[in-house]
Chains A and B, each alone.
Chain A
Amino acid sequence: MIKIKLFSKFNSLLICTLLCLGNISQAQEPVRIAFMDPLSGTFASIGTSGLKQIQFAADYLFNSRGGILGGRMIEIVPLDNKQSPTETQLQFRRAVSEGLQIIFQGNSSAVANTLSTTISRFNRRNPGKEVLQINYSAVDPILTEDNCSFWHFRFDAHAVMKLNVLTDYIAMNKDIKSMYIIGQDYSFGHVVADTAIRLLNEKRPDIEIVGSEFHPIGQVKDFTPYVTKIVSSGADAVITGNYGADMVSLARSIIDSGLDIPIYTFYAAYDGITATLGIDGKDRIHLIHNETSNPIPTERRKEYIRAFKARNPNNDVTQPRLANALSMVVAAMEKASSTDPYDIAIALEDMRFTTLGGEEIWMRGEDHQIFQSLHVSVHTDEGIEFDADNSGFGLRSIYHVPAEETIVETSCQMRRPRR
């Protein structure tokens, strides 16, 4: 509460200064963007960390530089969907009634799917009031394949793209003869398991899949029983798509059991995970992600991270793609000189954009899937300039695949609204 009060005081002070300076720009309606993710409950740590990042991106990249579209500020409106599809429906109603037309959402493909279906239906029935879904993290391929929608844009590589790179990397390690796959029991976890098995069979038929297990998402108290099975299966490595508490508990149990094998993950870093793994996870935990963590390629991105840390000392820039997504949406608004979702969508299609990291990324018009380089990183404390959780440990990128090589075909047959 104190914080909020301070901020509002600060804001009023700011407004006063602006007015006293002689009304530089007329008070314009802000561009309001909804951020819908779990801000409470089991997965709150990921959602709140994302919220801080998008708020910072909006302030640092745009609001502090005079806003967008000739002086309009970006206002991020947090909506807590508790990572539940039901709650998402309610929050979507709220967004609509508040006139929000752009929704950022990332956590859980199940939620993203619900939202995409809801938005498509809503837009069909309410022409002129359309809503745009900016998916920055839900990676079930179906969202840009069979279930693709004109109103949905994905700014993260999907699970098959990521696993393509990850299995390439795993295939190079000749010591790995057997693999264990464990994941959360919902669409994303199943995609990871099915795809990993398929790709490993293609690339390294000699690797035996010694186990594939699903557990209910966010419900497991103790992963030790699962780890017991992994140990007795004799696996040389583990692949998991787990995130949040499910990831950290799993990794802790594996470490505590004395099992010394590499763990290949999507999300085993930041928001307390890196600090919790610490020295025990060194050189064992691997991650597949976009935007390298260490070394950081450009001075601009380094400055961005430092400025973020100065404002949020206890958080990290865990998802640089949030800044990319926001920047591209803004670029599309500027290009179309409009905040209408349809105009933004048209402008986003086939847009090429250079990120803070100096890389050109491409939003494919056919299915609204982003393409950018992918990296495999390892959890370590060596060669880390930007650590995670202030722990001294962080991610060092060790295997890189350029954007062109990550391109996969899509089965998307998009229905385009007529204007």
Chain B
Amino acid sequence: MLEVFIFATLNGLVTGLLLFMLASGLTLIFSMMGVLNFAHASFYMLGAYFAYSISLTMGFWLGLIFAPLIVGVLGAMVERYGLRRVHKSGHVAELVFTFGAAFLIEESIQFFWGPATKNYRSPDILDFPLFTLFGQEFSAYRGFMIFISMAIFIVLFRVLTHSRIGIIIQAAITHPHTVANLGHNVPLIFMGVFGVGTALAGLAGVIAGPVLTTFPGMAAVLGSIVFVIVVIGGLGSLAGAFIASLLIGLLQSYAIASSVGMPDLLDLLGVSFEADHPLNDLWTVTLPQIAPILPFLLLVLVLIFRPTGLLGKREE
């Protein structure tokens, strides 16, 4: 039982931190521009595919460096030449624009790389078990994933709270006009944040590609969950996104690891139903079975009881 718990925690940590890399960029972009970037997970997918192509000729490590850079530049260009023009027409237009961009990116990926799963591999140097516990291996690559995401979180937090540029960004979130009047180039800051946000998503793609498999549906699988995190954490709150990511990662992981379900609950209550009961599916459902939808349940609960999210400061 202990082994399951320990591994579930580690798995949850890996998933949670990965989700955070996506959510951090999304939440920053939202708080600055007021745009929910629907294409965010698509940049994550682009990161994985770029890194895959780079890794074929130049190896994994160069992919790790260059793929996020390419994605970041691409993201910045999308902001500069796409989003900024659409901005004049209001938020709905921006929303629709990012929605369209998501489709465009997915189709482009299918066009250039094809629909089949890509054999994107983790580097050989990390191809060993970091440690073995109760006969189960924890791969070094997963340890590396945890390390990278933690490093990103710390750097991001330091930059935002302790550097000059971070202070300007924070000011631009709440008082863009004042910041502009002080002589700062707000559109440039926006572009920068969008670029960095998408680069982070790209980086997440680079390190997730080898373990979560690189295929054209990878954005869709992760996309909706990232929005859930941003809303649960509180729109615009980096710390909130961090907590929500870990919460959801661990929640899912523990739910899968558990082996309880409705039958246990019914046993406890001393109730039983016939096998041909019309709601039989409901009476036999188990927690692992519904694990992937638990985050959405949590979202509903948060929206009901704390609409601003865990650490959200937004007031109506």
Contact = CB atoms under 8 A, between A and B. Distances in A.
Task: Tell me, yes or no, whether A binds B.
Answer: yes
Interface of A: 40-45, 47-49, 185, 213-216, 218-222, 224-226, 228-229, 231-232, 245, 248-249, 252-253, 256-258, 271-273, 275-276, 278, 314, 389, 391
Contacts of B116: 45, 49, 271-272, 314, 389
B110 A225 contact: no
Interface residues of B, number: 47
Contacts of B129: 258
Contacts of A224: 11, 14, 142, 211
Contact of B117 (A219, A222, A272): A272
Contacts of B302: none
B220 A275 contact: no
B7 A215 contact: no
Interface string B284-308: 0000110111000000000000000
Contact of A216 (B107, B139, B225, B293): B293
Contacts of A222: 11, 14-15, 211-212
Contact of B217 (A218, A231, A271): A218
Nearest to A225: B256
A45 B115 contact: yes
Contact of B216 (A44, A273, A389): A44
5 contacts: A44-B110, A49-B115, A216-B292, A226-B288, A229-B4
Given A213-B288, A218-B221, A229-B4, A45 B117 contact: yes
B18 to A, nearest CB: 8
Given A219-B221, A245-B217, A229 B119 contact: no
Nearest to B118: A272
Contacts of A216: 289, 292-293
Chain B, interface SS category: helix
Interface in B102-152: 106-107, 110, 114-119, 129, 132, 134-137, 139, 141-142
Contacts of A213: 288-289
B144 to A, nearest CB: 13
Contact of B257 (A40, A228, A389, A391): A228
Nearest to A42: B217
B165 to A, nearest CB: 33
A248 B213 contact: yes
A213 B291 CA distance: 12
Given A45-B215, A272-B117, A276-B119, A231 B135 contact: yes
Given A40-B107, A213-B289, A222-B15, 7 more contacts: A40-B110, A215-B288, A222-B212, A224-B142, A275-B119, A389-B116, A391-B119
B64 interface: no
B115 A221 contact: no
Contact of A257 (B137, B259, B289): B137
A81 B62 CA distance: 39
B316 to A, nearest CB: 33
B253 interface: yes
